[in-house]
């Protein structure tokens, strides 16, 4: 009960601080959702600029708190409006804040990572807004080009899976694999692209799921390896096969072990020690496997198939 009271008091202070401010590059007030076009323009402008807060339930001229009668319904309507209207997708924080005998809604919009943002139904040229002072301005083609150039190009494995959270990553496996070389910090997981932070939330990347996902095959059912050894020069006589569905970094060693089992080897004597020599250099096998796994990650078109052909039974 005490924590709820403290939280309520904190929120009240937050509202009081907000209504004392003037509308600015990062703050705008709206009384209700009647002017949907203006609300969408503001959210787009915030996303294309420095982010900002849209406060609903406050008169934008007098700063009087009008409040919202059905805050849950308005929150749902607002979330649907944003999701259905804006491209690329925006994920703002929408909070219902109690105020005396009513409520207000605060929409916190972050600077977007996929700019420019615009209205789906209108198009990029006619609905890309930016924030100039306390107003929304339609962006010129030059500004649109600047917004596009501000993006950093992402490869497929760097793309973020917004529908999941970081709990799907097995950080223990990642830590154990890196243990011989270094101890991974939280910052390392971001730098490696395994996870990404956007709008105060942590999401896994596609690469993070493929490498260390707890349930990788649920999301990428073709991201596994089938190894096979055949007698002769075709696939009519199979000697051995193995399905490998472990974490991909671990799978590399499992594939090498499978190949070693069926590969011709010889023994050479160096000084007083014997040395096993593979008929195909181990380093070449490892490089080939890693290259093919990289292709698997990029394409995900089918399971990776590895075949060995032997002329000896």
pLDDT at 152 (0 to 100): 58
pTM: 0.51
In whole angstroms, how far apart are CA 255 and each of 243, 286, 290?
Answer: 10, 9, 10
CB neighbourhood size of 184 (10 A): 18
CB-CB neighbours of 71 under 10 Å = 19
CA atoms of 133 and 21, how far apart (whole Å) = 14
- Check residue 299 and give its pLDDT: 55
| Structure confidence by residue, pLDDT tens digits, 164-195 | 999 999 999 999 999 998 899 999 999 999 99
- DSSP output for the chain: -HHHHHHHHHHHHHHHHHHHSPPBTTEEEESSSS-HHHHHHHHHHHHHTT-EEEEESB-TTT--B---S-HHHHHHHHHHHHHHHEES----EEEEEEETTEEEEEEEEPPPTTPPPEETTT-HHHH-EEEETTEEEEPPHHHHHHHHHTSPP--GGG-B-TTS-GGGB-HHHHHHHHTTT-PPPHHHHHHTTSEEEETTEEEEBHHHHHHHBTTHHHH-TT--EEEEEEESSSSSSEEEEEEE-S-HHHHHHHHHHHHHHHS-EEEEEETTEEEEEESS-HHHHHHHHHHHHHHHHHH-SS-EEEEEEES--
Average confidence (pLDDT) over 32-38: 93
pLDDT at 229: 83
Cα 82 to Cα 22, 44, 297: the distances in Å are 25, 9, 32
**By mean pLDDT, which of 65-74, 105-114, 224-233 is the weakest?**
224-233
pLDDT given for residue 225 in this prediction: 83
More confident residue, 299 or 106: 106
Q: Where do the domains of the chain lie?
A: 2-149, 156-219, 225-310
pLDDT, residue 104, reads: 93
pLDDT average, residue stretch 291-298:
67
Which pLDDT score is estimated for 228? 82
Residue 111 predicted with pLDDT over 60: yes
pLDDT band at 298 (very low <50, low <70, confident <90, very high): low
Q: How many residues does the chain have?
A: 313
- d(Cα 166, Cα 221) in Å, to the nearest integer? 20
**In the prediction, which pLDDT does 271 show?**
67
pLDDT given for residue 251 in this prediction = 87
* pLDDT > 90 fraction of the chain, expressed in percent and rounded: 40
Q: Which two tokens stand for residue 43?
A: 């959210």
Query: What is the average pLDDT across 276-301?
Result: 70
Q: What's the mean pLDDT in 202-211?
A: 91
**For residue 5, what pLDDT is reported?**
35
pLDDT digits (tens, 9 = 90+) for 123-133: 999 999 999 88
- Residue/partner pairs of 70-77 with CB below 8 Å, 24 or more apart: 71/96, 71/103, 71/105, 72/96, 74/33, 74/105, 75/105, 77/33
Mean pLDDT of 222-232: 80
Does the pLDDT at position 16 exceed 90? no
Q: With beta carbons less than 8 A apart as the criterion, state whether 228 and 241 touch.
A: yes
Where is pLDDT greater, at 107 or 227? 107
- Give the CATH number of domain 2-149; options: 3.40.50.720, 3.30.950.30, 3.40.50.300, 2.60.40.10: 3.30.950.30
Q: Please say whether the beta carbons of 154 and 122 come within 8 A.
A: no
**What is the pLDDT confidence band of residue 256, given thresholds at 50, 70 and 90?**
confident
Q: Who wins on pLDDT, 249 or 45?
A: 45
């Amino acid at each position: 009960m005490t924590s709820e009271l403290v939280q309520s008091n904190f929120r009240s202070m937050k509202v009081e601080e907000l209504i004392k401010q003037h509308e600015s590059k990062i703050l705008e007030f709206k009384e209700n959702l009647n002017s949907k076009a203006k609300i969408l323009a503001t959210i787009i402008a915030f996303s294309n600029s420095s982010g900002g807060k849209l406060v609903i339930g406050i008169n934008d001229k007098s700063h009087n708190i009008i409040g919202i009668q059905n805050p849950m319904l308005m929150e749902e309507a607002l979330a649907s409006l944003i999701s259905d209207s804006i491209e690329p997708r925006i994920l703002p924080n929408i909070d219902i804040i109690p105020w005396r005998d009513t409520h207000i809604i605060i929409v916190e919009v972050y600077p977007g990572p996929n700019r420019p943002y615009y209205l789906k139904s209108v198009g990029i040229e006619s609905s890309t807004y930016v924030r100039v002072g306390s107003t929304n301005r339609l962006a010129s083609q030059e500004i649109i080009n600047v917004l596009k150039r501000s993006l950093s190009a992402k490869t497929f494995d760097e793309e973020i899976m917004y529908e999941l959270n970081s709990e799907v990553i097995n950080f223990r496996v990642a830590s154990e694999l890196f243990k011989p070389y270094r101890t991974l910090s939280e910052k390392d997981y971001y730098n490696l692209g395994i996870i990404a932070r956007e709008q105060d939330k942590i999401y896994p990347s596609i690469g993070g799921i493929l490498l260390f996902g707890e349930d990788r095959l649920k999301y990428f059912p073709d991201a596994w390896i089938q190894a096979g050894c055949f007698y002769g020069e075709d696939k009519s006589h199979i000697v051995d096969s193995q399905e490998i569905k472990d974490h991909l970094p671990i799978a590399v060693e499992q594939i090498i072990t499978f190949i070693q089992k069926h590969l011709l080897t010889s023994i050479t004597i160096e000084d007083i020690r014997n040395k096993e020599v593979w008929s195909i250099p181990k380093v070449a096998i490892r490089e080939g496997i890693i290259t093919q796994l990289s292709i698997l990650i990029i394409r995900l078109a089918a399971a990776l198939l590895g075949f060995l052909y032997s002329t000896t039974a």
